[in-house]
Structure 1
Amino acid sequence: MFANIIAVAAFGALAAIASPTPEKRGEYHTVTLINNCGVGTAAFEVAGGKMYYGTTTLDGPVEGGLAWITGAYGCGDANGLNCGDVEFTLVNPTSSNGYAQTAADYSLQQNSGQTHSYKYPMDFRFDGCNPTPYTPGECTGPTQSDCPGAFVGTDATDGTVFQCSNDNVGITITFC
């Protein structure tokens, strides 16, 4: 009986080590994609070209993310070309990767062969930010008055980057 108790305790300890709780896990970020458009697939790409679909939790910083609807509206399969996208970086402020904090924006830019045009409503919110959830508002059209802080036209400095400086912040992006 005593040997069984020891074995169960040892197994429980190993399980706790193998499956760390979020508090012991280190840096991680969850990207949640919601596609209410009825067509296409919500996707995001990170620096280096790795593609993800649906909700994904990534360990470590998420740098240079782009999210859009692929397979519909004439959107490109890489970088969301021809369609609007949400650009984001999710990083803990204590990371040593050179980024200061989590940030996101709407991109409808038309420059250097990177054409992004409004094709569908978009909305994003930071999860785990104060106030929670933190959102700039829905993008419902091709102008900054319709799409809060969007980068539009050819000026790479005409938009607003929304920021958060909490650890392990996630982002929820909804299309349509």
Structure 2
Amino acid sequence: MNKYKFMALFIGCCALPLLAAWLVLTQGWFNAGASSQGQWQQQEVFLLAPATGKAHWRLAVAPAASCDSQCQQGLHTLQQLYLGLGRKQQHVQPLLLGDATVPEAYQAISKAAVLLPLPQQLQNQILLIDQQGLVLLRYPLPATAEQMAPTAKAIRQDLLKLVNYDRTSV
């Protein structure tokens, strides 16, 4: 094998992966963000004060006004998610945002005051909030109890990814 043939083969092996990556990106075959189930926030919204304890992640139900039946379903789902976390509960704090009071049946959930008025797009949502108080993901509160199971599964998947890859407490 002469040196020109080797050089052409070497350059081809280096250029082929770059060309393939460029082709995938320009043709739109790459789906960025396909691993998260919730809707990412487009702008930064800091709703809560920074967390001080071990609970770095906060799951919050954000009702529009008072806690109606849809909000009650969200609280029930939130409590079930929290209890299902097992030993990872110490990293998550379930909250109810706003002026509504937490029903006695949901003892794991605490009430939290927001730093600013709740934006319209965050009302009637389940929010995933980081340790700095920044809303990262939101999940709409389903109208029926049958729709709550897929929503709970999506929240659990995203939350476990974040808790497992969180290195702020290491």
TM over 0.5: no
TM-score, normalization by structure 2: 0.30
* Bigger strand share: 1
TM-score, normalization by structure 1: 0.29
